[in-house]
Amino acid sequence: MDERERIEEIARANAAVAAAQDRSYWLDRWHVDLNALMRRRGAGELRAAVRALRAVYRLLVDARKELRKAVGQAPDKLASTRRLVASERERAEAMGAGGEQAIRRALAEAGLEPRPEDPWLRPDAGPPLEQLARVRNALPSGARVVLEADGLTPAALLARSTPDWRIALYVPGDPDVYVLEPR
């Protein structure tokens, strides 16, 4: 150990002794004996209460840090959300303009070539599940049903159409499109 390291070690030791003397000065001045105080009844509970308060304080400090971090990230998240909404709008407009062609492309990409005998059900002709029930009996062999369903989740559709139908393809959009195959 060279002399500089030794001097730094002595300086740290002197600082620690000074801090301890500073703390004990006030205890001596107020004539407080910590050992006797800690032997008294309730001292353990007081220490536990102080530890609990310290834990609550640390939680609040951590929560404050997390809140500041979230506030700092808010502009980035807002910009990201705006980009996502803009892309969804573009997608919805594309679906609205050439929706059937876009869905036929999605069918082809999924390996489900659209066929002319596949009926295309739209919500303006009545509730989609009632339409399914009517179409089921008149469906040619091997045909599928393309169903536009606005506000109908895949789970709700499965719950109401099982065991007669199987969802072959789901294209989320405005409206959502399902390709159903009879079982």
Task: Out of 18-32, 106-120, 143-157, pick the least confident.
Answer: 106-120
For the ranges 17-21, 23-27, 37-41, 96-100, the lowest mean pLDDT is seen at 96-100
Neighbours of 110 (CB within 10 A): 13
| Cβ atoms 153, 163 nearer than 8 A | no
Rounded Cα distance between 169 and 130, Å, is: 20
Question: Is the separation of the CB atoms in 152 and 130 below 8 Å?
Answer: no
The domains of the chain are located at 3-79, 110-182
Average pLDDT over residues 105-127: 66
Of the candidates 179, 173, 170, 149, which has an alpha carbon nearest to the alpha carbon of residue 95?
Answer: 173
Give the model's confidence band at 123: pLDDT under 50 very low, under 70 low, under 90 confident, else very high.
low
Q: Cα–Cα distance between 165 and 74 in angstroms, integer?
A: 44
Give the global pTM.
0.38
Share of the chain above pLDDT 70, in %: 75
Number of alpha carbons in the 13 Å side-chain half-sphere of residue 146 = 20
Tokens at 118, concatenated: 């596949």
- Rounded (10°) angle between helices 128-138 and 154-161: 50
